[in-house]
A and B are shown apart, each in its own frame.
Chain A
Amino acid sequence: MTLKNNIFLLKELVKRDISSRYKDSMMGGVWAFVAPLIMLAVYTFVFSMVFQARWGDSGTSKTAFALNLFIGIILHGVLAESMSRAPTVMQQHASYVKKIIFPLWLLPMVPVISGTFHAFISLSVLLLAVLFFQGLWPWQSLFLPFVFLPIVFFALGLAWLLAGIGVYFRDITQIMPMFITVMMFMAPIFYPASAIPEEYRNWLLLNPLTYAVEMGRGALFLGQLPSIGAYLIYLGAAILSAVIGLWFFSRVRKGFADVL
């Protein structure tokens, strides 16, 4: 199983996955931009106008809350899409499992990659909004892709794990929405990490999102970069989780055809 031989196949699978979402809709791919735009508009209205929420203690601008929230939601979205779709991905391609010789390990990668694709579209909407409300981005924003990199690896690990479990244990599909919501609230998405009481802060670091969201905010809003050491440890943990996920998947894969 080499990625090199299958890169064209993976590209085709992702292309199909993304295009099938907008197939037969009149505006087609425009929706990919419209959806995050509307979400951001709603967040801005609710949190800035209705709640009049302020981000952190300092006297930040009115729109800061919505923008800070949005980057958290984008990062969460990558994991959420992978986690909600991975458990059924093998069932949906049962004929690939049973009837043809197919590099099955590619299949759980598809929701991760198309989730990342959509996250980058949302990110570009966010960047425009930041430009509009706060002026030019700090140069540290160039680091943003590296904020996503570990999250993608975590998502891959989860996708392989969940796809493997999902074949044997269908209940996982029911558990996932709850789990995704827990992940959202148990990460500093609706609040800055500094708002968490000291004694709980380390617990939240167990959520892979916590560190990524904080890094993203630092790079985009505060012009801060994480320390290289901490970042590499984080990235290493992410890669390790992907490796474990793939190991698990290739191990349970042998029984797929018997179950599906």
Chain B
Amino acid sequence: MSSDAAVSIKNISKTYHIYKSPMHRLVNVLFGVQLRKTTDIHALADVSLEINKGETLAVIGRNGSGKSTLLQVLCGILEPTLGDVQVNGRIAALLELGAGFSMDFTGRENIYMSCAVYGLSKTSIDQRLDSILRFAEIGDFIDQPVKTYSSGMFVRLAFAVIAHLDADILVIDEALAVGDAYFTQKCMRFLRDFKTRGTLIFVSHDTHSVISLCDRALWLEKGRMKLLGDAKSVSEAYISLLYQERDAESGELIAEGHNEHAITTQGEFGTGDAQVISCRLLADSGTNLVLLDRAQTVTLEVKCTAFKDIEQPILGFFVRDRLGQPLFGENSLEWAKGWQTIKVGQKQVLRFTFAMPLLATGEYTLGVALGSGTQEKHVQHHWIYDACAFKSQANPHLTGTIVLEKVAFTAQVDDAKMVLRCDSESDLHG
């Protein structure tokens, strides 16, 4: 282990043995021998990792991929079956909401207890108490038993405590998800500040906070290391795999679902006379658009086929936000005068190319509709609500939905001849 490493783990595996009798387990723990054959569950397999002091590492992966197990092993709560963990510094963990709180005791009493668990003395807790209370912002509830708290108050209290422990290494598991936006921002500010003096290990499903907070990311898949690298590329790879699988599933759905009648798959409808086979959104680099982090020209590529001759076909799309609110959309009527028919059995590849603005951070879906007729009178052959999905990542200070481009600003004082001109930096060269 190099002297810079805060945490160093070598080839650790965690296997849960299912024993027939608890005595066998006791014998195993005490003497390290296995009396009978056991049924094994592998939660972690051969994970090696070195986290340097001051580094921020995210652990991502699906549910059950071993993320929490890894954190528990790091914290010394679980003993790895094989391998070696070395921790260099004082470690504080927030693994589960409200864990370690005694429900019948007040928030204040629990602050003392939680700090004491970490090894702080009464006087040093007294000194921190005001600051903890200010951070938690629980108000008079602090003297109520914590069983009366909302989950938001729980996480505020827990986070406030952990922020005041002067730990060298912080381990945080998804705890921020329940806080309101205001508190989440506050935690983020704290974590950003903490990064300058400590090591942070962070499990999150929120790839945005992973990218904005972490230097590196580890992607676990079925207890194994799938990818370890810089946070952005690992997160992108992870998201794109998730979407690929989802697309693959919905692709099968369409293939199986076809018949002469209307398409009835959930989230889709239409006569079924023509069908969208696949649909993808391409970034200006030509690869699938997974993460939108700047405005760019994108291409929507739709493959379709027809089971009857379709005259005057129309292709439309629309982009919706997480709440289903439509943001914008377009159809081919205006742009594809020459597109007259889709013959029966024919396969066609249709492409829309347009300037995609940068959108507020979040998840978006793109729906497509294949119909025929005119703007006033048409039938829908195949309408898919969520044909593709992508994430957008913008400056968190953005107000509104769409990031403006080509912004210029001038300030002119009435009598002066001088004109101030300030250009916004990032959006002008688009």
A and B found bound together: yes
On A, residues with C-beta under 8 Å from B are: 5-9, 12, 16, 20, 95-103, 165, 168-170, 248, 251-252, 254-255, 257-259
Chain A residues contacting B78 (CB-CB under 8 Å) are 257-258
Chain B residues, CB < 8 A from A259: 22, 25
**Assuming A6-B119, A258-B78, is B100 touching A95 (CB within 8 A)?**
yes
Contact B26 A165 (CB under 8 A): yes
Q: How many residue pairs, one in A and one in B, have C-beta atoms under 8 Å apart?
A: 83
A168→B92 CA distance, assembly (Å): 28
Q: Shortest 8 CB-CB distances between A and B: which pairs?
A: A99-B99, A254-B79, A9-B116, A255-B29, A168-B26, A100-B100, A5-B119, A168-B22
Q: Is B77 an interface residue (CB 8 A)?
A: yes
A83→B272 CA distance, assembly (Å):
75
In-complex Cβ contact of A95 among B17, B99, B113, B122 (8 A): B99
Asked whether A169 lies within 8 Å of B96 as measured between CB atoms, the reply is no
Using A95-B100, A103-B117, A258-B16 as known contacts, list a sample of 7 further A-B pairs with CB atoms less than 8 Å apart, ordered by residue number in A: A8-B120, A20-B104, A100-B95, A100-B100, A168-B22, A251-B29, A252-B29
Write the B15-28 contact mask toward A (1 if CB under 8 angstroms, else 0).
Answer: 01100001101101
Structural contact, A252 and B26, CB atoms closer than 8 A: yes
Are A100 and B29 interface neighbours, CB within 8 A?
no
- Contact A8 to B93, CB < 8 A, known contacts A100-B100, A251-B29: no
Q: With A12-B113, A101-B76 given, is the CB distance from A252 to B30 under 8 Å?
A: yes
What are 24 residue pairs bridging A and B, where the CB atoms are less than 8 Å apart in the complex?
A7-B121, A8-B125, A9-B113, A9-B117, A12-B113, A16-B102, A95-B99, A95-B100, A98-B77, A101-B92, A102-B100, A103-B117, A103-B119, A165-B26, A168-B22, A168-B23, A168-B25, A168-B29, A169-B22, A169-B26, A254-B29, A255-B26, A255-B29, A259-B25
Min CB distance A175 to B, Å, is: 14
B213 at the interface (CB under 8 A from A): no
Does B75 interact with chain A (Cβ within 8 Å)? yes
Complex CA distance for A96 and B122, rounded to whole angstroms = 20
B292 close to A (CB within 8 Å): no
Distance (whole angstroms) from the CB of B112 to the closest CB of chain A: 7
On chain B, the residues within 8 Å of A101 by CB distance are: 75-77, 91-93, 117-118
Residues of A within 8 A of B23 (CB): 168-169
Q: A146 vs B210: C-alpha distance in the bound complex, in angstroms? A: 59
* A245 to B: closest C-beta gap in Å: 14
Most interface-central of A8, A165, A254, A255 (chain B CB within 10 A) = A8
Q: Are A9 and B119 also in contact (CB < 8 A) when A95-B100, A101-B92 are?
A: yes
B30 touches A251 (CB 8 A): yes
Residues on B with C-beta less than 8 A from A97 are 77
Chain A residue with Cβ nearest B77 = A257
CB pair B29–A170 under 8 Å, yes or no, is: no
A240 to B75, CA, bound (A): 31
| Binary per-residue interface labels of chain B (78-110) against chain A in the complex, 1 for a CB within 8 Å, 0 otherwise | 110000000000011101100110101100000
Q: Is B392 an interface residue (CB 8 A)?
A: no
- Which residues does chain B contribute within 8 Å of A258, judged by CB atoms? 16-17, 25, 78-79
B76, A255: Cβ atoms closer than 8 Å: no
For A165, list chain B residues within 8 Å (CB). 26
Nearest CB in chain B to that of A106: its residue: B117
Chain B residue at smallest Cβ distance from A2: B119
Please classify the interface of chain B as helix (H, G, I), strand (E, B), loop, or mixed, using the class held by over half of its residues: mixed
B72 lies within 8 A of chain A by Cβ:
yes
Which chain B residues border A168 with CB–CB below 8 Å?
A: 22-23, 25-26, 29
User: Shortest CB–CB separation between residue A90 and chain B, in angstroms?
Assistant: 13
In the assembly, what is the distance between CA of A259 and CA of B78, in Å? 11
Whole-angstrom CA separation of A168 from B21 in the bound complex: 9
Best-surrounded residue of A103, A168, A248, A257 (most CB of chain B within 10 A): A168
Q: Please give me the residue from chain B that is nearest to A100 by CB atom.
A: B100
- Please name all residues of chain A whose beta carbon is closer than 8 Å to the beta carbon of B16 when the two chains form the complex: 258
Residue numbers in B under 8 Å from A170 (CB-CB): 22
Contacts of B92 in A (CB 8 A): 101
B102 smallest CB distance to A (angstroms): 8
Q: Interface 1/0s, chain B 291-322, versus A by CB < 8 A?
A: 00000000000000000000000000000000
Query: Which residue of chain A has its CB nearest to the CB of B112?
Result: A12
Closest CB-CB distance, A65 to chain B, in whole Å?
Answer: 43
> Which residues of the partner chain A approach B116 to less than 8 Å between Cβ atoms?
6, 8-9, 12
| Bound form: Cα–Cα A6–B92 in Å | 15
Q: Are the C-beta atoms of B117 and A8 separated by less than 8 Å?
A: no
B residues less than 8 Å from A254 (CB atoms): 29, 79
CB neighbours (8 Å) of B76 from chain A are 101
* C-alpha spacing A79/B28, complex, angstroms: 29
**In whole angstroms, what is the CA distance A257 to B93 when docked?**
16
> For B79, what are the chain A residues with a Cβ–Cβ distance below 8 Å?
254-255, 257-258
Q: Give the shortest distance, in Å, between B171 (CB) and chain A (any CB).
A: 9
- Enumerate chain A residues within 8 angstroms of B122, measured Cβ to Cβ: 8
A12–B95 Cα distance when bound, in Å, is: 23
A-contacting residues, B27-83, CB 8 Å: 28-30, 72, 75-79
State the CA gap A102–B113 with chains docked (Å): 11
Q: How far is the CA of A46 from the CA of B119 in the complex (A)?
A: 50
CA distance A27 to B273 in the complex (A): 83
In the complex, what residue of chain A is closest to B158 when comparing beta carbons? A100
B16, B23, B119, most chain A CB atoms within 10 A = B119
| Cβ contacts under 8 Å, B121 to chain A | 7-8
- Asked whether, in the complex, the Cβ of A102 is within 8 Å of the Cβ of B25, the reply is no
Residues of chain A contacted by B77 (CB below 8 angstroms): 97-101, 257
- Whether B72 contacts A257 by the Cβ 8 Å rule is yes
B26 proximity list for chain A (CB < 8 A) = 165, 168-169, 252, 255
Within the assembled complex, what's the spacing in Å between the Cα atoms of A26 and B125?
32
From A12, A97, A103, A248, residue with most partner B Cβ within 10 Å: A12
Instruction: List residues of chain A with CB within 8 A of the CB of B22.
Output: 168-170, 259
Question: Chain B's nearest CB lies how many Å from the CB of A86?
Answer: 16
Distance between Cα atoms of A167 and B165 in the complex (Å): 31
Distance between Cα atoms of A252 and B27 in the complex (Å): 9
State whether B25 touches A100 (Cβ < 8 A).
no
Complex CA–CA separation, A86 to B30 (angstroms): 19
Closest to B28 in A: A255
CA distance A7 to B113 in the complex (A): 12
